[in-house]
Amino acid sequence: MDTPGVEFIKEHLAPLCDDLHELFEDAGARAARFRQQNGLTAAVYNSLGADVTRGLAHRAIDASGGLGPWELTGDHSRRGQLMLRRDMVRLRFLHDSAGEVPAAGSNAARQAYYRNTPLAPDSMFGVVDSNLIAVWRVVDEETGEVGFRVVRTLDPGARRAPHGVTNLDLDFSLPRTAPALV
């Protein structure tokens, strides 16, 4: 059984389960076609595929007015930042082909985003205002299936950590359906 803080976050995320995977998979397929049509399939262009996927996902969410109670926030002009907000919970999408949580780097705003007050096991304290990260990646190259690892970081991590940020108080895979989450 989850603690009240984890239950709260999972209930907040449940409306995303049903549409988010398909939205990113469609955007990823379109980005792959773009790369193929333009001769940009070499590994040197892999980050372009992630950027185009994120841009197409952002546009689809914007065109639909959000995903349930989640709305776009952040500044997409900052290298394609994709972030959703519901109440005081924010969810930032970062790509990592290995599914690791990238360190915050030297950017002060990103470092601040990575700092959350630890979840208290017996209360909601610190949960109302949470900065979450959804690390997305293609988990099956043949089908284009996308997976999301949702984490809640407690610090920005070492800039060159070999396995990304590891100081987390929440870490789970976002399932494709809401009933599988809660």
Q: What angle do CA 15, 114, 150 make, to 5 degrees?
A: 30
| Sheet hosting strand 168-173, strand order edge to edge | 71-73, 83-86, 89-95, 130-140, 145-153, 168-173
Task: Pick the more confident residue, 168 or 6.
Answer: 168
What is the per-residue pLDDT for 8? 85
Task: Pick the more confident residue, 99 or 13.
Answer: 13
23: three-class secondary structure by DSSP: helix
pLDDT greater than 80 at residue 5:
no
| 75 — pLDDT class (breaks 50, 70, 90) | confident
Q: Is the pTM of this model over 0.85?
A: yes
Q: What does the pLDDT look like over 15-67, one tens digit per residue?
A: 999 899 999 999 999 999 999 999 999 999 989 999 999 999 999 999 999 99
**DSSP β-ladder status, 89-95 and 83-86:** antiparallel
Distance CA 157, CA 57 (A): 27
Distance CA 47, CA 172 (A): 24
pLDDT greater than 70 at residue 162:
no
* Residue environment code for 154-180, b if the CB has 16+ CB neighbours within 10 A, otherwise e: bebbeeeeeebbeebbbebebbbebee
